[in-house]
């Protein structure tokens, strides 16, 4: 399981071996308001998932 980026809201991404999974849920049920550094951190996490998925697919070919 991956480490969650933000403690108050649930914003996370991970590669589970067959799909890239994303969850985005605000603690108050509303939309998540992210600052620049939070967006950059989430994009990096998504890119890591994409690298894992690409490597997995390359190995399966």
Give the per-residue pLDDT at 3: 54
Give the per-residue pLDDT at 7: 59
* Bridge partners, residue 14, by sequence: 21
pLDDT of 4 over the 90 cut = no
Residue 12 near residue 5 (C-beta atoms within 8 A): yes
Residue 24 near residue 11 (C-beta atoms within 8 A): yes
pTM above 0.85, yes or no: no
pLDDT of 60 over the 80 cut = no
Give the per-residue pLDDT at 1: 42
In tens, the pLDDT along 28-59 reads 887 888 899 999 999 999 999 999 999 998 87
More confident residue, 11 or 2: 11
Taken in order 12, 23, 43, 50, the sign of the CA dihedral is: positive
């Amino acid at each position: 399981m991956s480490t969650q980026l933000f403690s108050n809201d649930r914003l996370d991404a991970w590669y589970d071996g067959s799909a890239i999974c994303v969850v985005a849920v605000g603690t108050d049920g509303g939309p998540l308001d992210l600052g620049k550094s939070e967006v950059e951190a989430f994009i990096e996490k998504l890119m890591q998932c994409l690298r894992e998925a690409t490597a997995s697919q390359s190995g399966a070919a």
